[in-house]
Amino acid sequence: MTNATLHPDRQITTPGDQEQHHEENARFRFGPYEEFLKKYLEQEYRFCFFPEINQPKNQIALRHDIDFDTQFALQSAQIESKLGIKATYFFLMRSNFYNLFSPQDLHNVLAIRDLGHHISIHFDPTVYEDFHEGLKWEAALFRQVFRQEVSIISLHRPNTFFQEFDSPIFDIEHTYQAKYFRDIKYFADSTGVWRFGHPFDSQEFLQQHSLHVLIHPVWWMLDGVSNTDKLRTFYSQKVQSLKTDFSNNCIPFRSIHESL
Ligand SMILES: [Zn+2]
């Protein structure tokens, strides 16, 4: 006997409705980050750097594109390191949100590398008229600053051209090459939403297929139910830190600090 026949007046929730509701919740299912990572370990995944991905099963390439803040990146790197997990962190060299040459950002990036993670370039091709020249220039700068080779990059907000661009650029691999993007299942939390579904709901995860998972630490290190809640918090933190920077570097600003 079904629920509906027992309670004929009760509003009936169909399995379809439940599924839709579940999917809506899954889109915003984030944090705590440590619990999220532990699930992969329980499912017997091994965390790998990109060039190590060579098995159809049990491997995961954990990727971080750092669009906003190196402090959140360091926080996620510390949580991973505590669990013995390695990840690849990609940083923008031409960002309006952080500056790899500032003392704090540089310290954070070096600390992430010291924890055993890989670091490289999150490349924004739209900054350049000729993206080949742009990448050549950024790679040279990166080598000089961090004293290491650039073997793989990720692209910032790639258009279809780049998503379908399968070759390395100047012998530098990128994360949208088919072997990382199509041959293994890809999940991303871009914009603070699991657009391609939550990894744990997928058959690939349940069957331990190798995965490429893109995590933006900003969506995991801030409190809030939705992506816009988190952005509100982040925005007010940025305003406060901008005020502090003004006051620390500009004496006349101190007289207006409180009134702003
Ligand atoms: Zn990005």
Give the number of other Cβ atoms within 10 Å of residue 7's Cβ: 10
- Beta strand pairing call for 185-188 and 59-66: unpaired
C-alpha of residue 18 to centroid of ligand 1, in Å? 33
**Cα 173 to Cα 242: distance, rounded to the nearest angstrom:** 36
CA of 14 to the centre of ligand 1 (A): 39
Position 106: which residue type?
A: L
Compute, in angstroms, the gap from residue 122 CA to the centroid of ligand 1.
7
Listed in order, strand segments (DSSP E) in the chain are 46-48, 59-66, 88-91, 118-123, 152-155, 173-174, 185-188, 211-214
Share of the chain above pLDDT 70, in %: 91
C-alpha 3 to ligand 1 mean position (Å):
48
Q: Which pLDDT score, from 0 to 100, does residue 29 have?
A: 84
Residue 196 CA to ligand 1 centre (angstroms): 17
Question: 67 alpha carbon to ligand 1 midpoint, in Å?
Answer: 5
Q: Which of 12-21, 132-141, 142-151, 246-255 has the lowest mean pLDDT?
A: 12-21
**DSSP assignments along 115-184, one per residue:** TT-EEEEEE-GGG-SSHHHHHHHHHHHHHHHH-S---EEEESS--HHHHT--S-BTTBEETTSHHHHTSS
From the list 177, 167, 70, the residue with the least C-alpha distance to 119 is 70
Average pLDDT score over the chain? 90
Whether 31 has a pLDDT exceeding 90, the answer reads no
3-state SS assignment for residue 32:
coil
Check whether 22 has a pLDDT greater than 90.
no
> Separation of 134 CA from ligand 1 center, angstroms?
16
> Which residues are CB-neighbours of 194 under 8 A, at least 6 positions away?
26, 27, 28, 29, 187, 188
d(CA 127, CA 138): 11
185 strand-pairing partners: 211
Residue 2 pLDDT greater than 90, yes or no? no
Q: Is 202 helix (H, G, I), strand (E, B) or coil?
A: coil
In order of their start, the domains of the chain are 41-47+56-220 (3.20.20.370)
Going by pLDDT thresholds of 50, 70 and 90, the confidence category of residue 9 is very low
Question: pLDDT value at position 164?
Answer: 81
CB distance 90 to 127 below 8 Å: no
pLDDT of residue 160: 80
pLDDT for 133 beyond 60 = yes
Question: For residue 4, how far is its CA from the centre of ligand 1 (angstroms)?
Answer: 48
Please tell me the predicted confidence (pLDDT) of residue 159.
80
| 3-class secondary structure, 64 | strand
pLDDT digits (tens, 9 = 90+) for 190-233: 999 998 899 999 999 999 999 999 999 999 999 888 999 999 99
